[in-house]
Amino acid sequence: MTGTRDDFLSIARSAAGLLRAPAVVEAWRGPSALPELSVGGLAGHLAYQVLVVREVLANPVPSEPTIPLLEHYARSAWVGADLDSEINVRIREGAERLAADGPAALAEETDAAIGELATALASGTDRPVRMPFWGPWSLSLDDLLVTRMMELAVHSDDLAVSVDIPTPDLPPAAVHAVVDLLSRLAVRHHGPTAVLRAFSRAERAPASITVF
């Protein structure tokens, strides 16, 4: 198993533990830190980052061309889309549907998916995969896992903030992969000088180097 796959499973297990946090369970139907998304819906979106990997691995190998990781974000419709855009509404509705059966059911389904993926990822090759709503392209499996690690890291923080508990300490190797991805996206969005200054020169740092 590659390091990327081990890192994905580690951060997925961390997220699964967060789904069972008493504060998350108690606030399930309340508003989250993200606009127009309940705590349960945010938990559903977090869990989806694991469940979708099981889903895409169950599908046939796609025929669409496999593109580089950063090109994937350049093409993705949700990047920079308005809150009420079709893609973001669809994401929120899907997340709320996943949460509809309650926290215990979602946590159990996530745990089951992680167990299956631990076997599938250990034995599988780095085949192309795709999510149907992306558009006409694929990613390598390992690149897909990097995208899911980013989502798991960011939304673990969102969920913890939503219920006023500490953000979990995420596995260091997974954090390194996520920060590497976000740094490369920041360079593409803001240019290398802005990112260098943000990291090293407080007196010349830009106001923001966020990428989403």
Tell me the per-residue pLDDT of 21-38, one tens digit each, with 9 for 90 and over: 999 999 999 999 999 999
Q: Is the pTM of this model over 0.75?
A: yes
pLDDT exceeds cutoff 80 at 104: yes
Q: Residue 10: its pLDDT value, please? A: 97
Higher-confidence position of 5 and 76: 5
pLDDT tens, residue by residue, 164-192: 999 999 999 999 999 999 999 999 999 99
Dihedral sign for Cα 65, 68, 74, 78, please: positive
In the chain, where the domains are located: 3-165
Q: Is the pLDDT of residue 135 over 60?
A: yes
At 96 the pLDDT is: 97
Question: What pLDDT is stored for residue 188 in this prediction?
Answer: 93
Task: Give the CA dihedral 23, 115, 6, 141, nearest 10 degrees.
Answer: -110
Q: What angle do CA 172, 158, 166 make, to 5 degrees?
A: 65
Q: In this structure, what DSSP letter does residue 61 have? A: P
Percent of the chain with pLDDT over 70: 100
Element (H, E) at 171: none
CATH 3.30.70.260 is the classification of domain 3-165 = no
Q: How confident is the model at residue 1 (pLDDT cuts 50, 70, 90)?
A: low
Query: Residue 61 above 90 pLDDT?
Result: yes
What is the phi/psi pair of residue 129, to 5°?
Answer: -140, 160
